[in-house]
Each structure stands twice: as structure tokens, then as C-alpha cells.
């Protein structure tokens, strides 16, 4: 009897403390319309605590709200919403604890009920016109509370849950039995530190696919956007991206070893939100210097936060595949799905305003953030950039590897540059056996996004081909020849345009560039796939990691930047005409021919 009395007094005390704490929070946030955490806290208490504590806190908090909720219908609506929150979360706690996503969905719905109840109460005592007027007057409040409950529960729910449980775990009689059972299961699962559930793998894969779509479409769209607002010369600012990514990728890899991939990825998501916001503010603000500064800062931040984002996400997925003895097809999946978003920014920019394009990108990156926050960790062992000095030493000793990498990586570097530099080709306009640079041609955005789209479709097509290991060298040669023939076609067309002028010459030229991107995209994947297999046959298990890193640096950094400088010289530094364009194509054709012949000579 005495023990029960002590428990009752303790329950009343803890209920009073929680009610006071919640009321103080409400008073502090009352100066910001719509900023109310009551529903979140009451939902959490209804899931965790016994029914009497949750009910007491609900009633007490609602009653005290009449002192500061004015007019009275605000207090009544607050009471009804709180009671409904208690009833739903306490009665459905078993189902909600098993399906955490439903908690966030319910809270989002409940956040809309507060103003709905106000509308209904005014409708009961008045008419539709007055009720509608009162409802419209709450527009700002409704938007704020909706946004708050869109993000806040996902970000804070787990942390609040842990804090409350640790505080009350010494007194198990104040926690309901369903939650205790749920917590025990959670602790058992946590002992593994990672999940082998396919649903968690699929969620992680979706986050990577969305991230790759954001990256590929942004790289394609940003030069077009910069040209529209600042002029084509400012496209050269994009040289910042590969340099920053080269510097930051190893730093992110070091940081994730001290923490974990998931934590770094969530912080990178927030950084990308800031970066994208700065870039688009640079297109919308009227103060030129401020806008330009924000755009440059946004580009730098995008490079900083995207640098480790994709590799770490891939590492998580590969860890799951390796641990479960499954074939690693992550690169194939993202290559075949990373081009879906490319047309949308161009279409939005042409038919609407930049703010809508920014909204699209921010919405998608927020989806990625939510997936990362909600999804369980599926990574056990690291597998990306897991390389030692001995690996590099073994790779440097292999002369055949160095010969192949230093020659064929030229194609890789050119293809990587064209991921954002392709737009320069579409600025070219042929007139009277000469050419000029025209930056605002009719419907140019259609040709630009078709070029980028066909490039990635070609890459996706590269994974549809299968061949035996004995044919690796043949496929490798074929990819070299495809690059060479592409430059030959463009060079030949330019020579013809020097002597012959015909109708629709610019349309034919743009179609050639678009189709050439499909061929180059296909050649790029065939080259990468065959080259990786050749390296594996050529090098031992240890040296292969160093070889892949060196090959990546040769193509994605060294030759990509070299190509960038080449295009900067021809399109910006010197007067551009048909003769300089022929010279540029001659360099590309000659280089590709030399590389192709060199690879025929090298005995692999």
C-alpha cells in the first residue's frame, strides 16, 4: 500500500514537472506564430509514458494554455488537438512503434488540425464567411506550423526519445509496457550496429539515385544558368568544382573514419541545401556584387559538400553487398538512373522563375536528408579509398599500367569536362561559311539538355553489353575508336562548313553534337568497364586499389583540368571564328588518334 502511494505521488510530481516544462516552452515560442512543439512532446509522452501521466500532462498543458491563448477559441482548439493527439498515439502505440514513419506522417496531419478546429468552432457560432476570414487570418501561422512539423519531428524525435527514456529508465513504473518491449528489441538490434534488411538497402539506394540526379542535372544546368545571368565567360568559374572536390574528398574520408558515414552524409545534406540556396540567390538578387559573391560562394560550398557525398553513399551500399555475398552493381544502377532529372531545371527556368528551380532542388535534397535520418545504418566495413602507400608503389612499378592510364585517361578527362563544358559547343552558330558565338539562340535550352541527356543515355546503354574477359582488349580498342570517330565527324563537318553553306546548317550541327554525346557516353562506359578488367588482370590484389586511385586522378583531375584550360583558351582568350574552331577540333582529333594508335602498340 505504502509503495503504491509513493508511486502515485511520484507520477503526479513528474506529470507536474512535464506540464510546467511544456507550458514554459509554449510561452517562449508564443512570440513566433505557428511555432508550437506541444503536439510533438505529447505524442512522445503518449507513446512512452503510462496513460495516466500522458493524460494528466495533456489536460494540464491544455488548461494552462487558456491563460495565454487569445481568443478563447484558440484555447479550445488547442485542447481538442491535444486530446486527439493523446487518443491517437496512445491507442495506436503498438503499430506506431513498429512503423516509425507513420509517427511523422500523423504529426504532420495533426499540425493542420489546430487551425481546422478554429475554423469549425467559428463556423458553429457564426457563418461561413466569418469562419473563412478567421481561417485566412491564420495563413502565416498555418504555413509555419506545417513546415515545423515537416522537419522538426524527423530531426529531433529520436534524440528526445533517448533523453526522456534515460531520465525515466530508473523508474520503469512510469513507462508503459509496450514501449519497454519495443526498447528491448531496439537494444538487441543495436548490438549488430548495422541492418541486413533489404528495405534499408533500398532506401539507401534511393537516396544515392536522387543525389546522383541532383549532381548530374546541376552540372548540366549551372553553366546555362550562369550564361543567362552573368555571361558565358563566368562559366569558367566552374573550374572551382573539380579543384575543391579533389582537395575535400580525402578530408571527408578521414572525418567519416572518426565518426561514421551516416552522420557525415546528413551534415553534407544540410551543407548542400545552403550551397544551392546561395547559388540561386546569386541569380535572384538585384545587388550585382552581392549576388555574384553568393553565387561563387555557393559553387565553392557545393564542391565542398558534394565531394564526399557520393563516394560515402556508394561505400555504404557496397558494404551491404559485400557482407551479404551479393554482386556489386551499384555503379550500373546509378549510371542507368542518374539522368532522369536533367530536363526539368531547363524547362522550369524557361517557363517559370529561378525560385521554382531552386525549390525543386531543395525539395529533392530534403528527401535525401529525410531518408538518411530515418533509415538504419547498413554499413559494416569501409571499402572506398581503402589504400596504402604500398598499393601506390606497386601501381607505379607496373609500366604497362602507367602507359595505359596516361593515354586512355585523356578520353576520361575530356568526357568529365563535357559533363558541364558541353554547353560551349551549343553556343556556336554557322553563318556564311564562318561561325560566331550566339548565347541566346531560340530554344537553345532544348538542344543543351538533349545533349546532356543523350550523353547519360549513352552511358546507360554501355551497361547493356556483355562480353567475356578474353574480349576486354577488343572492347577497349573499340571505345578508343569510337572517341576518335566522333571527333573525326565533328572535324569533317566544320571543314565542309568552311567551303559550303546550306539550309539548316545550324540544326544539322546541333544534331551532330547531340548524337556525338550518345556515342561518347557509350564509349566512356565501355572504356571504363574494359579498362577496370584489364587492370585487375594486370595487377595483384593489393596494387589494384592504388591503381584505381591513380587512374581516377589522371582522368578526373589532370586531364579534365587540361581540357578545361584548352577550351578556355579557344573560347575566351583568343578571338573565336571558324579557323580557331577547326584548330580546336584538329587538336582533339589528333590527340584521340595518337591515343588510339598508342593503345594498339602497347602490349597489354
pLDDT tens digit sequence for 287-314 = 888 889 999 999 999 988 888 788 888 8
Q: What is the pLDDT of residues 307-363, one digit of tens each?
A: 878 888 888 888 888 877 788 788 888 888 888 999 999 999 888 888 889 889 988
Identify the CATH number of the domain defined by range 390-603. 1.20.1250
Element (H, E) at 318: helix 309-323
What does the pLDDT average to over 94-123? Answer: 81
Q: Which residue, 160, 189, 165, 187, is CA-closest to 176?
A: 165
pLDDT digits 0-9 by tens, 406-420: 788 888 888 888 888
φ and ψ at 428, to 5 degrees?
-75, 135
Alpha helices in 376-504 (DSSP H): 389-397, 399-421, 423-426, 444-461, 472-499
DSSP 232: G
Q: In terms of Cα–Cα distance, which of 250, 549, 238 is closest to 409?
A: 549
For all residues of the chain together, what is the average pLDDT? 82
Q: Tell me what percent of the residues of the chain surpass a pLDDT of 70.
A: 91
For residue 457, which of 390, 515, 400, 411 has the smallest C-alpha distance? 515
This prediction has a pTM of 0.72
More confident residue, 142 or 364: 364
Predicted pLDDT at 191? 41
- Yes or no: is domain 194-384 CATH 1.20.1250.20? yes
Same fold for the pair 194-384 and 390-603: yes
Q: Which residues, listed in sequence order, are joined to residue 435 by a DSSP beta bridge?
A: 430
Biggest distance spanned by C-alpha atoms of the chain: 107
Give the Å distances, CA to CA, from 38 to 26, 29, 53, 78.
7, 11, 15, 9
Q: Pick 587 or 558 by higher pLDDT.
A: 587
Per-residue confidence (pLDDT) for residue 391, from 0 to 100: 66
- Higher pLDDT: 427 or 555? It is 427
Phi, psi of 436 (to 5 degrees): -135, 170
| pLDDT exceeds cutoff 50 at 188 | no
Question: Which residue from 276, 219, 223 is spatially nearest to 416, judged by alpha carbons?
Answer: 219
Least confident of 222-226, 458-462, 522-526, 557-561: 557-561
Closest CA to 41 of 173, 121, 148: 148
Q: What are the extents of the domains in the chain?
A: 1-192, 194-384, 390-603
CB-CB contact of 99 with 92 (8 Å): no
Query: Are the CB atoms for 390 and 590 separated by under 8 Å?
Result: no
pLDDT at 517: 93
Reduced 3-state DSSP string for 46-76:
HHHECHHHHHHHHHHHHHHHCCCCCCHHHHH
pLDDT number for residue 258: 67
**Predicted local distance difference test score (pLDDT) of residue 380:** 66
pLDDT tens per residue across span 191-242? 446 677 888 888 888 999 999 999 999 989 999 999 888 988 888 888 888 8
Please state, in angstroms and rounded to a whole number, the distance separating the CA atoms of residues 198 and 183. Answer: 22
pLDDT of residue 401: 76
Amino acid at each position: 500500500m505504502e509503495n503504491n502511494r509513493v508511486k502515485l505521488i511520484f507520477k503526479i510530481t513528474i506529470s507536474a514537472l512535464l506540464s510546467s516544462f511544456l507550458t514554459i516552452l509554449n510561452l517562449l515560442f508564443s512570440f513566433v506564430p505557428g511555432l508550437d512543439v506541444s503536439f510533438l512532446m505529447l505524442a512522445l509522452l503518449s507513446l512512452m509514458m503510462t496513460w495516466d501521466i500522458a493524460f494528466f500532462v495533456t489536460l494540464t498543458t491544455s488548461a494552462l494554455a487558456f491563460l495565454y491563448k487569445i481568443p478563447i477559441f484558440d484555447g479550445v482548439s488547442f485542447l481538442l488537438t491535444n486530446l486527439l493527439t493523446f487518443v491517437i498515439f496512445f491507442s495506436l502505440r503498438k503499430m506506431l512503434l513498429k512503423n516509425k514513419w507513420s509517427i511523422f506522417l500523423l504529426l504532420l496531419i495533426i499540425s493542420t488540425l489546430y487551425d481546422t478546429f478554429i475554423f469549425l468552432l467559428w463556423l458553429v457560432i457564426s457563418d461561413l464567411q466569418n469562419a473563412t476570414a478567421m481561417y485566412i487570418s491564420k495563413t502565416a501561422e498555418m504555413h509555419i506550423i506545417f513546415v515545423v512539423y515537416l522537419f522538426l519531428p524527423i530531426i529531433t524525435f529520436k534524440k528526445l526519445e533517448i533523453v526522456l527514456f534515460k531520465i525515466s529508465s530508473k523508474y520503469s513504473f512510469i513507462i508503459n509496457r509496450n514501449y519497454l518491449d519495443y526498447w528491448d528489441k531496439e537494444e538487441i538490434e543495436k548490438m549488430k550496429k548495422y541492418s541486413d534488411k533489404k528495405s534499408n538497402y533500398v532506401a539507401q539506394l534511393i537516396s544515392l539515385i536522387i543525389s546522383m540526379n541532383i549532381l548530374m542535372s546541376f552540372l548540366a544546368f549551372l553553366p546555362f544558368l550562369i550564361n543567362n545571368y552573368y555571361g558565358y565567360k563566368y562559366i569558367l568559374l566552374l573550374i572551382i568544382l573539380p579543384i575543391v572536390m579533389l582537395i575535400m574528398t580525402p578530408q571527408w574520408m578521414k572525418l567519416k573514419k572518426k565518426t561514421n558515414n551516416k552522420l557525415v552524409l546528413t551534415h553534407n545534406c544540410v551543407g548542400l541545401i545552403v550551397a544551392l540556396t546561395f547559388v540561386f540567390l546569386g541569380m535572384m538578387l538585384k545587388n550585382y556584387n552581392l549576388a555574384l559573391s553568393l553565387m561563387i560562394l555557393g559553387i565553392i560550398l557545393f564542391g565542398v559538400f558534394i565531394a564526399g557525398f557520393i563516394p560515402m553513399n556508394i561505400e555504404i551500399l557496397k558494404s551491404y553487398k559485400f557482407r551479404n555475398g551479393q554482386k556489386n552493381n551499384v555503379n550500373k544502377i546509378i549510371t542507368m538512373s542518374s539522368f532522369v532529372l536533367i530536363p526539368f531545371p531547363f524547362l522550369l527556368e524557361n517557363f517559370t522563375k529561378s525560385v521554382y528551380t531552386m525549390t525543386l532542388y531543395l525539395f529533392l535534397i530534403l528527401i535525401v536528408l529525410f531518408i538518411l535520418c530515418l533509415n538504419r545504418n547498413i554499413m559494416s566495413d569501409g571499402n572506398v579509398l581503402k589504400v596504402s602507400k604500398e598499393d601506390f608503389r606497386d601501381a607505379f612499378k607496373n609500366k604497362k599500367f602507367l602507359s595505359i592510364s596516361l593515354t586512355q585517361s585523356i578520353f576520361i578527362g575530356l568526357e568529365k569536362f563535357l559533363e558541364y563544358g558541353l554547353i560551349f559547343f551549343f553556343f556556336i552558330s554557322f553563318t556564311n561559311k564562318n561561325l560566331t558565338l550566339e548565347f541566346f539562340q531560340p530554344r537553345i535550352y532544348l538542344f543543351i539538355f538533349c545533349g546532356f541527356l543523350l550523353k547519360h543515355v549513352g552511358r546507360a546503354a554501355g551497361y547493356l553489353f556483355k562480353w567475356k574477359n578474353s574480349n576486354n582488349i577488343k572492347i577497349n580498342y573499340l571505345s578508343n575508336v569510337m572517341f576518335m570517330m566522333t571527333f573525326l565527324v565533328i572535324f569533317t563537318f566544320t571543314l565542309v562548313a568552311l567551303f559550303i553553306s546550306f539550309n539548316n546548317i545550324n540544326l544539322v550541327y546541333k544534331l551532330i553534337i547531340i548524337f556525338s554525346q550518345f556515342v561518347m557516353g557509350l564509349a566512356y562506359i565501355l572504356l571504363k568497364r574494359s579498362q577496370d578488367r584489364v587492370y585487375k588482370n594486370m595487377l595483384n590484389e593489393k596494387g589494384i586499389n592504388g591503381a584505381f586511385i591513380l587512374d581516377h586522378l589522371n582522368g578526373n583531375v589532370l586531364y579534365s583540368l587540361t581540357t578545361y584550360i584548352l577550351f578556355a583558351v579557344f573560347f575566351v582568350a583568343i578571338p573565336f571564328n571558324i579557323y580557331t574552331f577547326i584548330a580546336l577540333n584538329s587538336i582533339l582529333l589528333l590527340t584521340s588518334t595518337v591515343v588510339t594508335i598508342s593503345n594498339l602498340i602497347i602490349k597489354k
